Structure 1
Amino acid sequence: MDNLNSELLIGSVAIIAALWLDRLLGEPSKYHPLIGFGQLANTLEKVLRGCKSLNEKSQGVLAWLLAVVPLTFATFVIVEVALQVSPLLAFLINCIVLYLSIGGRSLIEHADNIYRPLSQGDLDNARVAVSMIVSRNTETMNEKEITSSAIESVLENGNDAVFAPLLWFVLLGAPGAVLFRLANTLDAMWGYKNQRYLKFGYMSAKADDFLGWFPARLTAIVYAFQGRFMDGLTCWKNQAHECSSPNGGVVMTTGAGALGVRIGGPTYYDGVLKDKKPMGMGEPANWQVIPKANALVSKGSFGLSYIWLITLLGWSF
């Protein structure tokens, strides 16, 4: 077995180990590195907005580069040094970095916090729970709107929080997972299309779109294979282009089609009605569908990882 095959096999085992760490432990409740990264990003924004010699878009580009590039490069250096010390140490570092870059259990727990009160007819607590994961107005949401918001969030963030970090880890190792997670975090902080961030967050939004483009298509295929395959692909083809997000639309329309339900539709953001197009096909999703959406993410990520490992084993031997 050559060195490349050995590294690929070790990487695939690290993926499975990281997924199990996430399932068993979830995200650290304290001292998560992304908390410190968020503070760093806020400091960079404050400092660079004060640089009057740069226009607002240039300030945002420089802020993005200063936030993402040094930490990604530092991860590369740490992994390379660890490889020189011990392959086992490098394996452990890869596992830990990838574990900290994904958030599958957290995503599913948020969805379950919506599912439980909905299953008991408790719309008030369901509205509170859904307000924790979406930016839309939730105060007057009915059961259908709460359910749709939960499923949309699971399907879209299944890519951002699980599949995309895994894919970038496969492509570039631990630095790739860090690169995507940091870029995605900055998009969540700066990627808004409002007066404050339209120019400053331009780089953040475009970088996240670029880094998430291929993972979103892979995620959509994984969703489709777990349900109504052709319906999922049909919804992708006919509906994804109507969504505002070039990547979110792909995974949400395909996932809804695979589940055989409709989600989306008009909703309020900051008191303004946004005419979101329906996604999927069939009857409007009810609360019983939320665990099925969770399964697309959890079973899909583990299944894909095991398939990748088995494929590499067959290739190597």
Structure 2
Amino acid sequence: MLSFSLFCALLVGVMLDRWLGEPRHWHPLVGFGRLAMAVEQRLNRPGGVAAGALAVVITVLPWVLAVVWLLLVLPGWAGWGLQALGLWLVIGGRSLEEHGQAVMAPLHDGDLPCAREQVSRIVSRDTDKLDSCGVARAATESVLENGADALFASLFWFALAGLPGALLHRLVNTLDAMWGYRTERFERFGKVVARLDDLLGWVPARLTAISYALCGRFAASLRCWQQQASACDSPNAGPVMAAGAGSLGVMLGGGAPYHGGWKDKPWLGEGRAASADSIAAATTLVQRALSLWLVVLLGVSL
């Protein structure tokens, strides 16, 4: 069960993220990404499911075990500080908000090329072919989905297993973002990490979806979740995106250009078309859900 001391470390980590955001230089996840690229280039071969599993072990397990060891040997106050600082580096709530604002501002100003450039930093689709509504949809979807991946899932695993749990999820999720594509290069190599990411994110995704519903248009959110989520390819993104779109009263999803081709995705939500205001509303929804999580976690710790 989440102790009050661990909740205080969680709260400090969230506050540090809110005040400071991500480190501008020498972010550990950037270094981890470079390590992952080197490992993938060395191990990725045709038919490489086993190689992909080995790559996950090589890149993730040493860091998680190192944190477990440090928490065992450090004095209590130092271990508490490590938990708080580590969570700050793991989550990305303020960064998510900043990326959303960077897209929203040029959209408001009618600067579509700049908005396309900014949204290309947070989505994998071909943004140079998107109109203003497509840019707004992409950014809104990113805020909602990454709210689950980069914030709430890490908080869930931190509450359950401290910093080792949050770090495990964040590193696996980072690898999934790098290797979890259904392309010729990653179809087999990334299969293990994609399944592991689905597993670690299953419960947090549904808790995030419930939170989005409670913090917005509750009935519409649940209706969209129930009726639309199963049409999505991802078992975790579906509930999060459908519930979030329904909560905001906005239409998300639909066809979009990816990697030189066109991908038809299901429509999610109901109501108005996406716009710059939808990005702001999604950011506010994530902030409200975070406040809800903190209140619930405080109650659990007490």
Q: Give the TM interval when normalised to the shorter protein.
A: over 0.9
Identity %: 45
TM-superposed CA distance for 1:303, in Å, is 2.8
Q: Tell me, which stretches of 5 or more residues in structure 2 are unaligned?
A: none
TM-superposed CA distance for 1:290, in Å, is 1.2
Once the two structures are superposed, residues 218-253 of structure 1 have per-residue CA deviations (whole angstroms, 9 ceiling, x without a partner) of 000111001111111111111111111111111010
TM-superposed CA distance for 1:287, in Å, is 1.5
In the other structure, the counterpart of 1:105 is 94
Mapped pair 1:228 → 2:217? yes
In the other structure, the counterpart of 2:4 is 9
C-alpha separation in 2, matches of 1:173 and 1:234: 34
Structural RMSD (CA): 1.4
Q: 1:33 aligns with which of 5, 28, 39?
A: 28
TM-superposed CA distance for 1:311, in Å, is 4.2
In the other structure, the counterpart of 1:67 is 59
* Letter paired with 2:113: D
Maintained 8 Å contact 1:160/1:212 = yes
In the other structure, the counterpart of 1:217 is 206
Maintained 8 Å contact 1:266/1:275 = yes
C-alpha separation in 2, matches of 1:211 and 1:312: 22
Q: Secondary structure at the match of 1:173?
A: helix
Q: 2:230 aligns with which of 229, 233, 241?
A: 241
C-alpha separation in 2, matches of 1:125 and 1:42: 29
Between stretches 8-17 and 174-183, larger displacement belongs to 8-17
In the other structure, the counterpart of 2:274 is 285
Maintained 8 Å contact 1:265/1:275 = yes
Tell me which stretches of 4 or more aligned residues in structure 1 moved more than 3 Å.
none
C-alpha separation in 1, matches of 2:196 and 2:255: 28
Mapped pair 1:180 → 2:169? yes
Q: 1:147 aligns with which of 136, 139, 144?
A: 136
C-alpha separation in 2, matches of 1:302 and 1:11: 17
Mapped pair 1:258 → 2:250? no
* Letter paired with 1:136: R
* TM-score (norm. length: structure 2): 0.96
Q: 1:75 and 1:127, CA in 2 relative to 1: closer, same or farther beyond 3 A?
A: same
Once the two structures are superposed, residues 188-225 of structure 1 have per-residue CA deviations (whole angstroms, 9 ceiling, x without a partner) of 11111100000111111111111011100000011100
C-alpha separation in 2, matches of 1:189 and 1:16: 29
TM-superposed CA distance for 1:41, in Å, is 1.4
Q: 1:94 aligns with which of 80, 83, 97?
A: 83
In the other structure, the counterpart of 2:192 is 203
TM-superposed CA distance for 1:302, in Å, is 2.9
* Letter paired with 1:162: L
In the other structure, the counterpart of 1:46 is 41
Between stretches 286-295 and 195-204, larger displacement belongs to 286-295
TM-superposed CA distance for 1:307, in Å, is 2.9
TM-superposed CA distance for 1:288, in Å, is 1.2
Q: 1:129 and 1:60, CA in 2 relative to 1: closer, same or farther beyond 3 A?
A: same
C-alpha separation in 2, matches of 1:301 and 1:78: 29
Once the two structures are superposed, residues 101-120 of structure 1 have per-residue CA deviations (whole angstroms, 9 ceiling, x without a partner) of 10011111011001001111
* Letter paired with 2:208: T
Once the two structures are superposed, residues 80-129 of structure 1 have per-residue CA deviations (whole angstroms, 9 ceiling, x without a partner) of 212xx2x2211110001111110011111011001001111111111111
Maintained 8 Å contact 1:19/1:302 = no
Maintained 8 Å contact 2:158/2:165 = yes
Aligned residues: 302
In the other structure, the counterpart of 1:78 is 70
C-alpha separation in 2, matches of 1:61 and 1:181: 17
* Letter paired with 1:306: V
C-alpha separation in 2, matches of 1:40 and 1:289: 36
* Letter paired with 1:29: R
Maintained 8 Å contact 1:224/1:255 = yes
Q: 1:88 and 1:195, CA in 2 relative to 1: closer, same or farther beyond 3 A?
A: same
